[in-house]
């Protein structure tokens, strides 16, 4: 068994941490982002999902704000781990950290590299209309997801699959993939393949300005944006209710038949015209409300064909 430092923060990372522990590896420590303000007033400091799992497993937890200082790098090296496993940690690893474990640092990344290097590979794959993505285990270097690849598992992307659904699927296959990688590494038979030099794309962080729907875009692009941003941060538009504008979060949609002015409601089933074609909204959420099916929203919104989403 290997002596491992695990580095991760969100829910996505938890299955891999659990699987490595269950496989019998010694988890010397868990590194995760510090507790963040949460709750209605933002007054409570809430530990990350990875920290909660580490505490359940009685694993020591480290929550540095940065790994750039000599003291933090010395503390990391003092753990004498053979390998570090990184899954959605959220901090850059300096060279001193990358070189500290004898066998290196390995990252579980949610794309088929070199496509979608960077922060938001799941959302970007959906927003681009990709038909396939996957999980990759790669050995880390100082570049942005540029290291050689060890193992990969592909996942088809369904036409209406949301980012939340793809997130869960990739998280579930990433855990056994990393366990297998660590098994092969321990046995000295983990092969590394340099990434292709062609086909490189970057999955930049989602910006707030990208979340508002532009109904003048083709239906394909509108649909892919909705599902790529669902459930978080959520694509949105506005509509008029009782003489005032109200924001509507769009959580689930599908391609539909029909045409009209961009944003025009075409029927009583929440089919909306786009710049080219139409989509049908399946699940939405009014400001301050809960996510509801289209039928329930329509009963309360008092919209009719010809009304327009903005």
> Is 111 one of the annotated binding-site residues?
yes
- List the structure tokens of 204: 């930049």
Distance CA 215, CA 238 (A): 11
Distance CA 182, CA 184 (A): 5
Q: Are strands 149-156 and 132-139 parallel, antiparallel or unpaired?
A: antiparallel
Helix then strand then coil, in percent of the chain rounded to 5, is 30, 30, 40
Distance CA 190, CA 184 (A): 5
> Is 113 one of the annotated binding-site residues?
yes
Distance CA 54, CA 6 (A): 10
Cα 241 versus chain centre, distance: 33
Distance CA 61, CA 106 (A): 19
Supply the angle between the helices 163-186 and 14-22 in degrees, to the nearest 10. 30
Q: What are phi and psi of 84, to 5 degrees?
A: -115, 140
> Is 93 one of the annotated binding-site residues?
no
> Is 148 one of the annotated binding-site residues?
no
Annotate 196-209 with b (16+ C-beta within 10 A) or e (fewer).
eeeeebebeebeee
For the annotated binding site for (6S)-5,6,7,8-tetrahydrofolate, the residues are: 111-114
Binding site as annotated, residues: 111-114
């Amino acid at each position: 068994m290997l002596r491992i430092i695990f580095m991760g923060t969100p829910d996505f990372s938890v299955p891999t941490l659990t699987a490595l522990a269950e496989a019998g590896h010694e988890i010397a420590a868990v590194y995760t982002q510090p507790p963040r303000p949460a709750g209605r007033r933002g007054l409570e400091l809430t530990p990350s999902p990875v920290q909660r799992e580490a505490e359940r497993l009685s694993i020591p937890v480290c929550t540095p704000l940065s790994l750039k200082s000599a003291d933090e790098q010395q503390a990391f090296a003092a753990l004498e781990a053979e390998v570090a496993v990184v899954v959605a940690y959220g901090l850059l690893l300096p060279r001193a950290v990358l070189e500290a474990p004898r066998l290196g640092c390995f990252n579980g990344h949610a794309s088929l590299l070199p496509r979608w290097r960077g922060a938001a590979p799941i959302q970007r794959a959906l927003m681009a209309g990709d038909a396939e993505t996957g999980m990759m285990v790669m050995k880390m270097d100082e570049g942005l997801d540029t290291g050689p690849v060890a193992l990969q598992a592909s996942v088809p992307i369904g036409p209406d699959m949301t980012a939340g659904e793809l997130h869960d699927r990739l998280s579930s296959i990433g855990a056994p993939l990393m366990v297998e990688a660590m098994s092969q590494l321990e046995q000295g038979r983990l092969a590394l393949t340099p990434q292709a030099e062609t086909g490189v794309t970057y999955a930049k962080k989602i910006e707030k300005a990208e979340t508002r729907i532009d109904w003048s875009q083709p239906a394909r692009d509108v649909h892919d944006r909705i599902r790529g941003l669902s459930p978080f941060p959520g694509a949105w538009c506005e509509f008029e209710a009782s003489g005032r504008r109200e924001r509507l979060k769009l959580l689930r949609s599908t391609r539909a038949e029909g045409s009209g002015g961009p944003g025009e409601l075409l029927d009583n089933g929440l089919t909306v015209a786009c710049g080219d074609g139409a989509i049908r909204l399946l699940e939405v959420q009014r400001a301050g409300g809960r996510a509801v099916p289209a039928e329930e929203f329509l009963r309360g919104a008092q919209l009719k064909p010809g009304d327009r989403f903005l």
